[in-house]
Structure 1
Amino acid sequence: METREVRVVRDFMEQVRSGVDPDAAHRFMADRVRAHQVHSEEAVTVERTPGQYADHVRDMLAAYGDFGLRLDELFGSGDRVYARWIQSGRHLGEVDGLPPTGRPVTQVASAVYRVAAGRIVEYWIQIDRHGLRAQLSHT
């Protein structure tokens, strides 16, 4: 049986993170979410509102088009939910200063989400940014 926390993250991934309905972020996220991100092996923590997250997803749509998101792993324990996914699209907009190439792009990512009172309140995410950059700059 799927827990409430796992269901929140599944619905968030399928509706918001996938780009299907970025504005639905307010249904799944607390007013302020602590996002712990790994950038070149350096941990960075930012706070995001649901509106800022929706804008982030719209930026991804501009960069990669109507991308696909395949959820490969999803399970939880208590208030923590682990998700691993593969996102596939095309390089249609500028990314990290690199002009669009139209080439296929695949990102592999995983995150642990902390859910409280039915909303995501914090997450720790890792994305293969080096692999993404290699795909974008490959000639």
Structure 2
Amino acid sequence: METTETRVVREFMTRVRSGVDPDAAHRLMADRVLAHQVQAEDELTVERTPSQYAAHVRDMLAAYGDFSLRVDELFGAGDRVYARWTQRGRHLGEVDGFPPTGLPVTQVTSAVYRVRDGRIVEYWIQIDRHGLGAQLRRS
């Protein structure tokens, strides 16, 4: 049986993060969310609002087109839900200073989301930035 926390993250992944309905972030995220960018060289925590997150997804759509997002793993324990996904799109907009190439781009990402009262309140995300950079440099 799927928990409320897992259901919230599943809906967030399939509706918001996927680009299908970025504005659903207002329903699935708290007013302020702590977003921990887990990076070995420069760990960073930013505070995001649902509007900021929806804009972030729209930026991804501009950079990668109508990308596909496949949830590879999703499971939870208590208020924490782990998700790992594969996102595939095309390099259609400038990314990290790289001009568009039109080439396919794949990103593998994982995050742990903390859910309280049916909304995401915090997350820790890890993105394979080295792999993305290698794909952008191949043109």
Which bracket does the TM-score occupy, shorter chain normalised?
Answer: over 0.9
Q: Secondary structure at the match of 2:2?
A: coil
Runs of at least 5 residues in structure 1 that lack an aligned partner in the other structure: none
Distance 1:40 1:100, change over 3 A: farther
For residues 115 and 39 of structure 2, the distance between their equivalents in structure 1, rounded to whole angstroms, comes to 24
- Name 2:27's counterpart in structure 1: 27
- Name 1:125's counterpart in structure 2: 125
Shift >3 Å, 4+ stretches: none
Total equivalences in the alignment: 139
Letter in 1 for 2:13: M
Letter in 2 for 1:73: E
- Name 2:18's counterpart in structure 1: 18
1:65-119 CA distance string (max 9 Å, x none):
0000000000000000000000000000000011000000000000000000000
Quote the RMSD (CA, aligned, Å).
0.8
- Name 2:36's counterpart in structure 1: 36
Letter in 1 for 2:105: V
- Name 1:112's counterpart in structure 2: 112
State the TM-score, normalized to the length of structure 2: 0.98
1:112-139 CA distance string (max 9 Å, x none):
0000000000000000011001101113
The percent of aligned pairs where both chains have the same amino acid is 80
After TM superposition, the structure 1 stretch with the greater mean CA deviation from structure 2, 37-46 or 104-113, is 37-46
State the TM-score, normalized to the length of structure 1: 0.98
> What does 1:37-56 correspond to in 2, within 5 Å?
37-56=37-56
Runs of at least 5 residues in structure 2 that lack an aligned partner in the other structure: none
For residues 14 and 101 of structure 1, the distance between their equivalents in structure 2, rounded to whole angstroms, comes to 27
- Name 2:61's counterpart in structure 1: 61
For residues 66 and 6 of structure 1, the distance between their equivalents in structure 2, rounded to whole angstroms, comes to 25
